[in-house]
């Protein structure tokens, strides 16, 4: 894997003319040999004139488990793409095969090998254009699809492609790759009601394969052992062909990234806040502009504040240069729920969190100087790229002094209490300086130190 990854990163796939001729020749030979290899059985899928398949990489054949290349090529024109390379014999810390994502065009000098590849030529000739039919699924639900054109009987064995077509763009949480459709190459014995999965792949809206593999030692299982959706595909494949002809033709549909949303704040959490007996704010805050300074730069964000009608807490919409977040907060001190979206490594990731349990200690109503205040909570964190996590947090704050709120921003009135807080989470300890603006019933964090790793200073530029 390291050998081919180095070649790919040198830009040989796009034919960069600035590379040394010896390196280019080596890269062309390596990828040329890759395109001479026959498609692996059960990996061949067709969409229009495009054939997607996997092939072994010759340079890895001395290894016990060869590296695998995922290729997309045209059956009608000299064009091909290398989508990714995986090394099943080399596992990462997460237990997944080492992978190099490419998604690049192969050069004409390399693609010419496809025209002389008997396995590829035969695959183009024998693989019909798909005829996807909808076995089950409403407009905004998962569709169960079967490719009528792929049905092939040998004795009592029936092979075909089935698919789960999702209403949203999802992220495979192990591979960290997007997909909207999961295709399965299935083999079934209708008479014995048994089946085996020969291959599974994930595809995007453009029918690009982003992950997947063929099975090296598939095992027969009874239909009853499959999940309900797979059983529906197996049963459909075993019906007479005339019945499949009556199924609706699958059409394209708009699929956008999945969004996760937080639930309503639990009543016990709101009861814990009510029990503090904090007075209502004398003056409202509607709009804050703050600058956060890091060791390497600074960012500016705007906070638009309004009452949350459902919980009677504070709803904050924070708009920054790179993202916008929506959150309901306990007076600006911590989130009660949270929702955001970001882009990372080409993925659109949706985030949501919500406090499931909350308790307080100390006199939060009076906040006398020298007093220790505390709270503990459990927060469910979800995002579309990772598994759900419940994270504990315990904060202890000492009221250090009282000062005029105008020291924080000249437009603020009344007095303020400065707190020095230590927050203990699942792994890291954070220290912070927090100022409670008494007239406004709002906490403003002026300093934050994440375990000595990231130090941030916040300045309130505008308060309205």
pLDDT in tens, 393-418: 999 999 999 999 999 999 999 999 99
pLDDT value at 63 more than 70:
no
How big is the chain, counted in residues?
A: 464
The torsion angles phi and psi of 157, rounded to 5 degrees, stand at -100, 135
* Distance, CA of 411 to CA of 407 (rounded, Å): 9
Q: Measured in whole angstroms, how far is the alpha carbon of residue 152 from the centre of its chain?
A: 36
Q: Mean pLDDT score of the chain, rounded to an integer?
A: 92
pLDDT band at 334 (very low <50, low <70, confident <90, very high): very high
pLDDT value at 8 more than 60:
no
* Distance, CA of 414 to CA of 402 (rounded, Å): 11
pLDDT band at 6 (very low <50, low <70, confident <90, very high): very low
pLDDT band at 428 (very low <50, low <70, confident <90, very high): confident
CATH T-level fold of 259-463: YmcC-like fold (2.40.360)
**Domain residue extents for the chain:** 2-126, 132-256, 259-463
pLDDT score at 13? 52
Mean pLDDT over 374-394 rounds to 97
* Distance, CA of 137 to CA of 437 (rounded, Å): 54
pLDDT score at 57? 87
* Distance, CA of 165 to CA of 138 (rounded, Å): 11
* Distance, CA of 104 to CA of 44 (rounded, Å): 19
pLDDT score at 345? 81
pLDDT band at 32 (very low <50, low <70, confident <90, very high): confident
Tokens 């796939």 correspond to: 13
3-state SS, residue 270? helix
Specify the CATH number of the domain 132-256. 2.40.128
pLDDT in tens, 283-302: 999 999 999 998 788 999 99
pLDDT value at 5 more than 80:
no
In this structure, what token pair is assigned to residue 147?
A: 């490719």
Q: Measured in whole angstroms, how far is the alpha carbon of residue 199 from the centre of its chain?
A: 23
Distances (CA, A) of 397 to 44, 273, 357, 389: 61, 17, 19, 26
Give the percent of the chain with pLDDT over 90: 81
* Distance, CA of 255 to CA of 257 (rounded, Å): 7
Question: Mean pLDDT lowest for which of 57-71, 124-138, 336-350?
Answer: 57-71
pLDDT score at 15? 47
* Distance, CA of 133 to CA of 162 (rounded, Å): 10
Who contacts 392 (Cβ-Cβ below 8 Å, separation ≥6)? 376, 377, 378, 379, 425, 426
Whole-model pTM above 0.85? yes
Label residue 90 exposed, middle or buried (CB < 10 Å: 0-12, 13-18, 19+): middle
CB atoms under 10 Å from CB of 188, counted, come to 23
pLDDT in tens, 155-191: 999 999 999 999 999 999 999 999 999 999 999 999 9
pLDDT value at 128 more than 60:
yes
């Amino acid at each position: 894997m390291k050998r081919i990854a180095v070649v790919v990163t040198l830009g040989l796939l796009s034919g960069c003319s600035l590379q040394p001729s010896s390196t280019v020749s080596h890269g062309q030979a390596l990828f040329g040999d890759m395109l001479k290899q026959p498609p692996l059985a059960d990996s061949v899928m067709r969409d229009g004139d495009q054939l997607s398949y996997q092939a072994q990489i010759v340079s890895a054949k001395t290894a016990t488990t060869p590296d695998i290349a995922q290729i997309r090529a045209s059956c009608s024109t000299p064009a091909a793409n290398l989508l990714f390379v995986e090394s099943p014999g080399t596992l990462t810390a997460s237990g997944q095969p080492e992978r190099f994502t490419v998604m690049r065009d192969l050069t004409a000098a390399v693609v010419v090998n496809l025209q002389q590849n008997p396995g590829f030529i035969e695959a183009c000739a024998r693989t019909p254009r798909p005829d996807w039919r909808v076995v089950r699924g409403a407009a905004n639900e998962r569709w169960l699809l079967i490719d009528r054109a792929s049905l092939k009987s040998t004795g009592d064995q029936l092979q075909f492609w089935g698919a789960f077509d999702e209403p949203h763009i999802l992220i495979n949480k192990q591979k960290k790759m997007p997909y909207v459709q999961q295709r399965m190459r299935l083999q079934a014995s209708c008479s014995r009601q048994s089946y085996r999965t020969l291959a599974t792949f994930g595809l995007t809206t453009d029918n690009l394969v982003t992950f997947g593999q063929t099975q090296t030692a598939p095992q027969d299982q009874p239909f009853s052992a499959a999940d309900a959706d797979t059983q529906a595909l197996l049963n459909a494949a075993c019906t007479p062909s005339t019945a499949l002809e009556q199924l609706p033709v699958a059409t394209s549909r708009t699929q956008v990234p999945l969004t996760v949303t937080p639930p309503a704040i639990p009543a016990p959490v709101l009861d814990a806040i009510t029990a503090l007996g904090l007075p209502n704010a004398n003056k409202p805050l509607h709009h804050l502009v703050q600058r956060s300074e890091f060791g390497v730069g600074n960012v500016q964000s705007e906070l638009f504040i309004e009452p949350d009608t459902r919980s009677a807490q504070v709803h904050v919409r924070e708009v920054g240069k790179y993202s916008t977040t929506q959150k309901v907060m306990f007076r600006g001190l911590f989130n009660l729920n949270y929702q955001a979206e970001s882009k990372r490594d080409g993925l659109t990731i949706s985030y949501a969190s919500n406090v499931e349990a909350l308790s307080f200690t100390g006199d939060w109503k009076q906040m006398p100087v020298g007093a220790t205040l505390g709270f503990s909570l459990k927060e469910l964190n979800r995002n579309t790229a990772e598994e759900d996590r419940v994270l504990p947090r315990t904060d202890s704050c000492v009221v250090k002094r009282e000062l005029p709120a105008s020291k924080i921003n000249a437009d603020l009135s009344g007095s303020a209490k400065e707190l020095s807080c230590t927050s203990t989470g699942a792994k890291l300890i954070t220290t912070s300086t927090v100022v409670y603006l008494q007239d406004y019933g709002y906490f403003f964090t002026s300093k934050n130190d994440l375990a000595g790793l990231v130090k941030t200073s916040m300045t309130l530029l505008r308060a309205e």
